Amino acid sequence: MQRPTPKNEQITLDPKRYIVSKTDPKGVITYGNDYFVEISGYKEAELIGKPHNIIRHPDMPKVVFKLMWDRIQKGQAIMAVVKNMAKDGRYYWVVTEFESKKDKLTNEITGYTAFRKAASKNAVKVIEPIYQKLLEIEAQSGLEASEQYLIGFLEEKNQSYDEFIDQVVGNNGIFKLFFAAMKKLFG
């Protein structure tokens, strides 16, 4: 799979639209709504059956995805601010809630769903320098050092990761209401 070359050009997302994608337990795309397909720049057939990291932007620190995988593999939801990359190399920022899907009989995880909305300029302004610092640490000292920095950063703020992200996205309940509505539609 040929990864696109990143371009310093942002895709402006429609704040009234949402992006939804589903994967199997290994992170392979099984579904994407029309807006996901449109924004990604890939044809639906190019997305289905491919690893979800097909849209991962290299500006995203690996530690964010480690945290996400650690949580969703335990069946816990997590919200994150994510920079994704379209097929043409352009980027877009989203607030994403990742959720695990479980078999009702066995309680085994059968897949994951990601619900996304456009991230505010303020959220990006706050998170981007933190992500740059984490990337720098990953490049110099590896993933574990990046994770330790993030833990220390959150301890200094006396916040959990979830509390920090709620603050970054200005979460006054609107995102939680939005994600709850999306779960009813796509659950």
d(CA 60, CA 67): 12
Average pLDDT score, the chain: 91
Q: Could you report the per-residue pLDDT of 108-120, keeping only the tens digit for each?
A: 999 999 999 999 9
Give pTM, 2 decimals.
Answer: 0.90
* Res 186: pLDDT: 59
The size of the chain, in residues, is 187
Q: What structural domains does the chain harbor?
A: 19-120+171-186 (3.30.450.20)
* Res 61: pLDDT: 98
Q: How many CB atoms lie within 10 A of CB 37?
A: 18
* Res 180: pLDDT: 59
Q: Nearest CA to 91 among 115, 124, 63?
A: 124
Q: Could you report the per-residue pLDDT of 37-63, keeping only the tens digit for each?
A: 999 999 999 999 999 999 999 999 999
